[in-house]
Amino acid sequence: MRPENIRNFSIVAHIDHGKSTLADRILLQTGAISEREFRDQVLDDMDLERERGITIKARAVAIRYQRDNEEYELNLIDTPGHVDFHYEVSRSLAACEGALLLVDATQGVQAQTVANAYLALDGDLAIIPVVNKIDMAAARPEEVAEEMDSTFGFTPEECLPCSAKTGMGVDRIIDAIIEQVPPPPGNPDDKLRALIFDSHFDEFRGVIIYVRLIDGELRKGQRVKMLSTNATYDVTELGQFRPQRRAVDSLSAGQVGYVIASIKDLRDIHIGDTVTDAANPSADRLPGYEEPKPMVYCGIFPTDNDDYDDLRQALLKLSLNDSSFSFEPESNEGLGFGFRCGFLGMLHMEIIAQRLEREEDIDLVQTAPSVTYELGLRDETTISINSPDKVPDPSTIESWSEPIAKVSFITPSDSIGPIMQLCQDRRGKYLRTEYLSQSRTILVYELPLAELIVDVYDRLKSITRGYGTLDYEIIGFQKADLVKMDVMVASEKVDALSTIVHREFAMKRGRRLVQKLKQEIERHMFPIAVQAAIGGKIIARETISALRKNVTAKCYGGDISRKRKLLEKQKEGKKRMKQFGRVEIPQKAFLAVLQMESE
């Protein structure tokens, strides 16, 4: 296929605006799939994607299309819409020259519409604005086109109306892709350079890598080299997704496809790496991708400790398929051996946990999510920590810094007041208000990420009756009055229950925590003090009263001194037991505290 007849494009939009439905309709109307094969979400092949109705993994498909006696190859990449899969979108756009910017005619411009549009503009892509769902009774295409004009500068005439569900206007979109998206640059006669933009592990074929060829030609049987590791492999199969896997003999500059080369080691492949010819390698490495920085962390532990090795293998496979996810081993006195995992957001964390349980059949326990903090020490060094048990001695800490997110709320105008109150309660700093239309507003706040990840998204949906959306980006670290809150049971510190809190909320949080533990820890033969402390200062306390055996039950009548003697003997025994007795904290107590944190 000549490069001038290739069009690489992506579909970007807010979640649930119809990206996957439009991708399905384009496949049907170009003849890539038949009416018999057509079903909802053709490209979403994960059970989780189908159940939730969202795209989690980007998918690439090559479409052959005839127009005016000329054959074109349209390489479509269907991308996720949720804020947590922002990195997946940026990787996909790097393999394209154009993007369809899709907006729902009933909902208008949303938070992720804005974020993804700017991603496409940063990548210097040709953008084709599309207004979808015009067949709906509540559709308002003229108003939405005006919103597109005020937000991005697209005139109403440039916005292509369509209904992905019925197919209305889709032919016009396909023509616009051919006419407006530029052909890929690159020379088929240059040395081979291909960008790895995704990969996944197949237990029979090894690692399958997805590549976009920038220059040169890739052939079956060719020996290739990965520039970042210098590892070499023989290409055993080469192909494209149309939309099912179809083998081909060669791929040339501008095309997108997959490569199977008997790669067994998961760690040999890096997303963003450059593939070149081993015999005649190119010295110019492609820029690749900026490494994603996980901002939300939690511990993942197997319910059964015998599953530890299975969990490690499962995490290795997932990290190959999702390079924005990271993990490292950790141990916890309450939960045993597990892994400290890093995610881009709360939905990302939830999806990974569900994929582990479903795809690998492992029962998991998750700890409460936390974020990365930067600590300035008295010796003028700075360290990053993502877990309370890694906090050094308080006397060595000069300052704490926490990650700050710039959050854009797109909301109906009548919900502005409650959202502003929500942000103020979570230490938010107001930046500005913008009006999309008379009834819809963008509110921009700076919020600590630790406050954002707990419940802001759920509260927003509740306040706006489901009409509000948010998008956020991490803008840096800011100094804050944070403290590490320790929990002590029977005067012994329990590291697994320590948390990092703002000093202002520490007492309230500590009180709730000790009350919860009092309910969950069983009574012993001696009283147990459950305390929350900051440094050496106790800020909350509850006492679990002792079990008491009635030692005077057999004494009836007679001298009272006999009863007193038995009670004194019991008292001495309890005193000795309190000195040497140990309190066993059941796993359900740890889980109850984690549940309280997430609430």
d(CA 226, CA 212): 14
565: annotated binding-site residue? no
d(CA 498, CA 57): 35
- What is the DSSP annotation of 554-579? T--SS-HHHHHHHHHHHHHHHHHHHH
Q: How big is the CA angle at 388 (ends 384 and 394), to the nearest 5 degrees?
A: 80
132: annotated binding-site residue? yes
135: annotated binding-site residue? yes
332: annotated binding-site residue? no
Place of tokens 């984690």: 594
d(CA 102, CA 164): 11
d(CA 293, CA 322): 13
- Collapsed DSSP state (helix, strand, coil) of residue 451: helix
Nearest partner of 488 among 442, 448, 534, judged by Cα: 534
Contacts with 520 (C-beta within 8 Å, 6 or more apart), sequence order = 586, 588, 589, 592, 593
134: annotated binding-site residue? yes
432 touches 353 (CB < 8 A): no
d(CA 195, CA 253): 11
Sign of CA dihedral 545, 551, 554, 559: negative
For the CA atoms of the chain, what is the radius of gyration? 29
Structural element, H or E, at residue 338 = strand 336-343
453: annotated binding-site residue? no
Structural element, H or E, at residue 259 = strand 256-260
20: annotated binding-site residue? yes
* C-alpha pair distances (Å), 199 with each of 59, 266, 285: 11, 10, 19
- Collapsed DSSP state (helix, strand, coil) of residue 506: helix
d(CA 339, CA 298): 8
d(CA 80, CA 469): 16
d(CA 216, CA 118): 31
The amino acid present at 323, given as its one-letter code, is S
21: annotated binding-site residue? yes
Angle between helices 449-463 and 416-425 (to 10 degrees): 150
537: annotated binding-site residue? no
17: annotated binding-site residue? yes
Nearest partner of 100 among 56, 40, 43, 164, judged by Cα: 164
Sign of CA dihedral 50, 55, 61, 66: positive
| Numbered residues of the known binding site for GTP | 16-21, 132-135
| Numbered residues of the known binding site | 16-21, 132-135
